[in-house]
Homo-oligomer: A and B are copies of this chain.
């Protein structure tokens, strides 16, 4: 079942994951170690989130999944997302739209700013700006020493108007 991988293109994240699984590494193994199981819905969900560069909501993922697997329900999406967050592969964002969005990080957290357009609602990553070097490191240091706060995660969000909406003249 895990052996019929299509080798004609570069290994997708799912393939990589399956290899890892066989070798006892990666998400599958991590799950196994937790006494949990690898299933079709989980694989499908993992594939969708790991192949997307966008910030997907549970609903987004459900609709994507539903094309190929109409049998998978929203409940399972939510449960699997929670699991993926717990293993550290996903970060859960709450941008205040009324629903959570998930970002694939493959376990390594590279802090970056997010831009949210107040007009069209689009969310962009500023992944090519090293916010730490641009000054966030100094702020963090100051904060943690002045407030004796043990920082675990940093979140920088800019609300405003994206390029298209400024050009488009929308207010």
CB within 8 Å of B: which residues of A? 92-96, 100, 113, 115, 118, 124, 126, 128-129, 131, 134-140, 142-144, 146-163, 166
Contacts and interface: CB of A to CB of B under 8 A. Distances in A.
B152 A159 contact: yes
Given A96-B94, A158-B153, A146 B134 contact: no
B138 A124 contact: no
Q: How many copies does the complex hold?
A: 2
A142 B134 CA distance: 9
A158 B151 contact: yes
Contacts of A146: 126, 128-129
A125 to B, nearest CB: 10
